[in-house]
Amino acid sequence: MLSAWRQMTPQERRGAKTGYLALSPWMVGFVIFYAFPILATFYFSLTQWTLVDPPVWIGLDNYVRMFTRDPLFISSLKATTLFVALSLPLKLVLGLMLALLLNLKIPGMNLFRTVFFIPAVISGVAVSLMWIWFLQPDTGVVNTLLSYIGVRGPYWFWDLNWALPSVAIMSIWKVGGAAIIYLAGLQNIPAHLYEAAEIDGAGKWRRFWRITLPLLTPTLFFQLIIELIDAFKIFTEAFVITKGGPLKATYFFLYYFYEEAFRNFNMGYASALALFLLVVIMGCTVFVYRTSGRWVFYEN
Amino acid sequence: MRTDDRALSIQQQLRRSAAQRRRRRLVGHALVYALMIFLALLFMLPIFWMASTSLKAPREIFAWPPEWIPSSPQWGNYAEAFGKYPLARYMLNSAILVVANIVGGLVSVPIIAYGFARFEFPFKHVLFLLMLSTMMVPGHIKLIPMFWLYQKLGLIGTYWPLILPAYFGNPFFIFLMTQFIRTIPRELDDAARIDGAGSWGILFRIIIPLCRPALTVVVVFTFVWVWNDFLEPIIFLRDWDSYPISVGLAFFQGRYSVEWHLFMGATLVSILPILVIYFFAQRHLIGGLASIGIKG
Amino acid sequence: MKYRFTKKAVLLVTLLLLLLASVGGAAAQDPVTITWWTLASAESPEPAIRAVVEAFEAEHPDIKIDVTIMAESAYGDLMNTALGAGEGAPDIAYFWETPWLPHTLDITAHLEADPDLSRDDYFEEYFNNWAVWDGKVVGLPFTVGANFVMYNKDVFDDAGVDYPTADWTPWDYIEIAKALTDPDKRRWGGDRPRGPFRAIWRNIGATKPYSDDSATVDGYINGPDSVAAYTWLWDLVDSGATPTPADIEVLGTEGTGPVDLFIAGRLGMATLNNGHMITAANAGVNFGVVPEPHVPENERFVHAWALRASIWAGTEHPDEAYEFLSFWAGPEGQRINMEIGALMPSLPSVLADYPDAESDYFQGFMGVLNATQTAEWRASHPCWRGAVIRSVSDAWDLIMLGEIERDEVQATLDALVEPAQAALEECVPRLGG
């Protein structure tokens, strides 16, 4: 750092100083709100800690257990991975389709945009409870509607095969949030490109593949990372609705963490789990970032 | 003559095709509307069910077959919910937290983003990645250490733990604002510099006024996140008069039963402010989010 | 090696403290302010809590009560966080989790010296199970709660079935449930238990999921009595006379019970509690109360609970805290809660004045208050609830979902011995028992 500093001209140094000064609030915040709790979590992960008694140093035992003899770790990893694999592509594709619709220039679109955005902004326990009702097999809305057309609907959250898809449906319902970001990306695409393509006789489909999609890849890239992080953090649905069941079908990683930390008084192990999740999310993000050069196109 | 004829027929053709195009567009519009309305109804179905439940008498809620529209809507349920629980108070508390967080975001984010967007310094790239990576930290990880720290500082039971972080910059907003500032031509900076403005003068006189769309994103998203935050208020607050609405709603789940009709109504009321804010801000919002796609 | 979190972390954050120290100057406090965390509910609503505090402060002008009323969903996390951080726990709270118990103040001497209150004033089972731990008095039982079967008399009359009596067996329960079930009316005869090793499990004879010395699960979770209990559950599920887990989950709250379904007349019998009982009575349901069924030669157990109101061991004012604790969980506090709310006091002399005490259903309820409680063993075995039951929940799910055959119960339970044993061995060194 010092050598880099010495090579700078006085003017560059002044700029750098201003830059650091501008960043200083974030740096302080980083130390307090991120570095400190993560370091503390790392320390806890090397201990056995019941939360209510002082932590006892046990070295790497928690990690050894996690990787060698914990069937629940495997279950929770499996449920979470399945959820990410199911909901992430669906949300990306459906979000884009919705955004294309919302991008049409027809009167009243503002209202529609608000309507689709509503699910993305309401959250919390009430929404989860509402979904319990909504997908309730007996009196729930969906199965009642299905019964009108003579279909016996599944047990949704309480069905071995439907529990995970049900949670995915809940998250897809919130696709409006993603659509808004795509919408912003769509509106960024210069109109003259479309006009030029139209003159060349390109059809709508062709224009989508040759112009819209390539120019939207930066937005897609951002969205992919945000949704990836979000999907890995799935928790509330399991916490309020399924309790991880049936047969661990929705035993998501953060739910396992929560149970260990706050229900089973196993904070040391829970800390190891949490750090593992952090590493997985970072790993996936770095992977996506690395591959982005091949499929993300920037204008000019 | 012949050329005139041809010109005429081309004109006719053009007119006809224009009419055709208009008709096709009309049909297209009608199809789009039909699709949009269908989708909107589908998306609103859960909300509609909440609204319907909020107007039912307790005994009707579990009746079978279910009633789509209650035969005698119990509008009194709303009055009962507001009378039984201090919902207005909770919403006011939420509003206080929202405003304090928004101010924090508006103060801190442009300054930090300005640093990232406009200045060169050693380790800038690393710091930017570090900043982005903090988005990945699950909130649960931080609970115990932060509780311990706030307890030491005597801040438990106050709003400070729920407000302070906003003043140190949220990584998502910093990223967004950095991207946005990069779209502002540097020539504007240079022009202001020639007029004698310093680095901070440029920020406050040139950059911030042009950042309005991105600042709208900060306002709206902060509003939504703070309004919905559940975990942190529960851990860091003490007095139930100080709870925000997100936590206040939890009181509807009693030890032995849920007052579903009141709960659903209160939830609906609690999301109204978000909808109002969003409806009016959405045009700027989309402009503010547009910079996400530019090269970082 | 033992490291104390506080010391380590102090080193870590000294700098931060220096940065932010100016914000957190703690003001000197009135020496006799007692902090107290409590819950509000229909039984003990906020006005009742305020009234108790007011009455107490009028009697004790030298003690001030700083009360915090919380949502139940937040209470556990808060206690964990406060006790975990070793800071900021209140002088008085409900210590309902077993791992919290070491952090309670031993009030045996206080109670013995108390001229106005003694352990004999409480229901014996409740006092022994909820106030005593490790041979010490660690709190006072506030209110009483118990599970029992509520039956809807209108549904029984409609189906022409006799009301159940206290000597019924688990197999009677299935037969009656079948007779009450009417698919056309979307009506089920009875509900299902909400977890294994609760009262009905014990009434069948399957006492515990693992041995008393916490050493082995083999022969316990897969022993003949446990197989009998799980097979009984299999028969109940197979009878079609009970709602599915989906119905129970949506209609009950946090697994406490399908009272809404019961009130709507769509469930003939349900294992509910006294909170539900009041809800049903207020809704005008015509119902009766019987204890959970049991096998005649076995001892009868009841799943029961009280709120263990305790003093935090870290309190600076143990005497003043005891003054308030004994007021809140003693006759005065519980009576005020009963009169303003609908609390059922844990003191027989006060409960006798309950407004509905003479009613038919209430008499049925009184019948379970002196039965042996399932809590005794569980309180000394904290690994019971979390680690071990979680590892055997697969068997429960499989039966509930109808995924296995009747003769596969034994094999299913045998297959769970290994993970359950591993969970037990992991948990016991940590939580003990």
> Pairing between strand C33-39 and C64-70?
parallel
Whether B65 has its CB under 8 Å from any CB of chain A: the answer is: yes
Residue C254 confidence (pLDDT) = 45
Chain A positions in Cβ-Cβ contact with residue B174 (cut-off 8 Å):
26
Q: Within 13 Å and on the Cβ side, how many CA atoms surround A85?
A: 6
d(CA C201, CA C182): 27
C426 membership: H or E segment, kind and range:
helix C417-431
Contact assessment for residue C38 and residue C68, using Cβ atoms and an 8 Å cutoff: yes
Q: How confident is the model at residue B150 (pLDDT cuts 50, 70, 90)?
A: confident
**Which chain C residues are within 8 Å of B143, Cβ to Cβ?**
81
Q: What is the pLDDT of residue A80?
A: 96
Partner-chain contact A118 B142, CB within 8 Å = no
Mark yes or no for CB contact B228/A121 under 8 Å.
yes
Residues of C in contact with B251 (CB under 8 A): 40, 71
Q: What is the pLDDT of residue C5?
A: 46
Task: For chain B, list the contacting chains (3+ Cβ pairs, <8 Å).
Answer: A, C
Provide the residue count of chain B: 296
Whole-number Å distance between alpha carbons of A93 and A227: 12
C97, C103, C419 ranked by CB distance to A71: nearest: C419
DSSP state at residue C101? G
Interface of B with A in 198-257 (CB under 8 A): 199, 224, 228, 230, 246, 249-250, 253
Preferred mutation among B141, B267, B272 to probe A, highest tally of A CBs within 10 A: B141
Cis peptide bond prior to B161, omega within 30° of 0: no
Identity of the residue in C68, C69, C273 whose CB atom sits nearest the CB atom of B256? C273
Domains of chain C as residue ranges with CATH: 33-143+306-367 (3.40.190.10), 146-303+377-431 (3.40.190.10)
- How confident is the model at residue A73, as a pLDDT? 94
Contact A31 C100 (CB under 8 A): no
pLDDT of residue A299: 61
Residue C92: its H or E element: strand C92-94
Q: Report pLDDT digits (tens) over B232-252.
A: 887 788 777 888 988 888 777
Segment B268-274 shows an average pLDDT of: 87
The helix/strand/coil state of C151 is strand
CB A273 within 8 Å of CB A260: yes
Phi, psi of C141 (to 5 degrees): -75, 125
Which chain B residue has its CA at the smallest distance from C72's CA?
B255
Task: Find the CB nearest B257 among C17, C26, C279.
Answer: C279
- Assess contact for A203 and A60: CB atoms under 8 A: no
Name B253's bridge partners: B258
Per-domain residue ranges of chain B = 2-54, 77-293
From CA A122, how far away is CA B275, in angstroms rounded?
9
pLDDT at B90 over 60: yes
In Å, how far are A246, C99, C395 from A264, measured between CA atoms?
20, 9, 21
C245, A267: Cβ pair inside 8 Å?
no
Judged by a CB distance cut-off of 8 A, whether residue B122 touches chain A is yes
pLDDT digits (tens, 9 = 90+) for A20-36: 999 999 999 999 999 99
pLDDT of residue B5: 63
C103 touches chain A (CB under 8 A): yes
Complex ipTM over 0.85: no
| pLDDT score recorded for residue C77 | 77
**Alpha-carbon distance C379 to nearest alpha carbon in chain A (angstroms):** 14
Rounded to the nearest 5°, which phi and psi values hold at B44?
-90, -10
Interval B133-140 mean pLDDT: 83
pLDDT at A280: 92
Q: Any residues with CB less than 8 A from the CB of B160 and at least 6 apart, and which?
A: B150, C23
Give the count of alpha carbons within 13 A of C406, CB side only: 10
* Neighbouring chains to A with at least 3 Cβ pairs closer than 8 Å: B, C
Query: Is C393 an interface residue toward A (CB < 8 Å)?
Result: yes
Q: Is the pLDDT of residue A238 over 90?
A: no
- Measured between CB atoms, which of B64, B144, B156 is closest to C84? B144
Phi, psi angle pair for A110, to nearest 5°: -55, -40
- pLDDT score for B293: 66
What is the pLDDT at residue C17?
40
Of the candidates B39, B123, B127, the beta carbon closest to that of A1 is on B123
Residue written as token pair 């140093």 = A57
Whether C52 contacts C336, CB under 8 Å: yes
Residue A213 has pLDDT above 60, yes or no: yes
Half-sphere exposure at residue B71, Cβ-oriented, CA atoms within 13 angstroms: 5
Biggest alpha carbon distance in chain B? 97
Q: For chain B, say whether A194 makes contact (Cβ under 8 Å).
A: no
Q: Specify the amino acid at residue A223.
A: Q
Q: Do B257 and C251 touch (CB under 8 A)?
A: no
Per-residue burial over C222-255, b = 16 or more CB atoms within 10 Å of its CB, e = otherwise: bbebbbbbbbbbbebbebebbbbbbbbbbbbbee
Alpha-carbon torsion angle B212, B213, B214, B220, nearest 10:
100
Average pLDDT, 10 consecutive residues per value, chain C (433 residues): 45 44 41 88 88 95 90 78 78 90 93 94 93 92 94 95 93 96 89 84 82 89 91 94 75 62 89 88 91 88 92 93 96 95 92 88 88 74 79 87 92 92 88 72
| CB contact residues (below 8 A), chain C span 6-45, against chain A | 8-9, 12-13, 15-16, 19-20
Judged against a pLDDT cut of 60, whether residue B185 lies above it is answered with: yes
Q: Is the dihedral of CA B54, B56, B60, B65 positive or negative?
A: negative
Exposure string for C305-315, b = 16+ CB within 10 A, e = fewer: bbbbbbbbeeb
Q: Is C426 on the interface with A (CB under 8 A)?
A: yes
C-chain CB neighbours of A140 within 8 Å are 250
CATH superfamily name and code, B77-293: MetI-like (1.10.3720.10)
Of B148, B250, B253, the CB nearest to C85: B148
Interface of C with B in 317-356 (CB under 8 A): none
Q: Give the 3-state secondary structure percentages of chain A, helix then strand then coil, rounded to 5.
A: 75, 0, 25
Q: Which residues of B touch C42 (CB under 8 A)?
A: 254-256
Domains of chain A in start order, with CATH, are 69-295 (1.10.3720.10)
pLDDT (tens digit per residue) in A240-263: 788 887 889 999 999 999 888 877
**So what's the pLDDT on residue B102?**
97
Mean pLDDT of B124-131: 88
Is residue B64 very low, low, confident or very high in pLDDT (cuts 50, 70, 90)?
A: low
* Chain C residues in contact with A57 (beta carbon < 8 A): 1-3
Six-digit token string for C12? 């870590």
Distance (Å, whole) CA B82 – CA B97: 21
Q: Which of A5, A16, A188 sits opposite B290 (nearest CB)?
A: A188
Q: How far apart are CA A147 and CA C310, in angstroms?
A: 53
Neighbour-count burial of B74, counting CB atoms closer than 10 A to its CB (0-12 exposed, 13-18 middle, 19+ buried) = middle
Residue C228 CA to residue C292 CA, distance in Å, equals 17
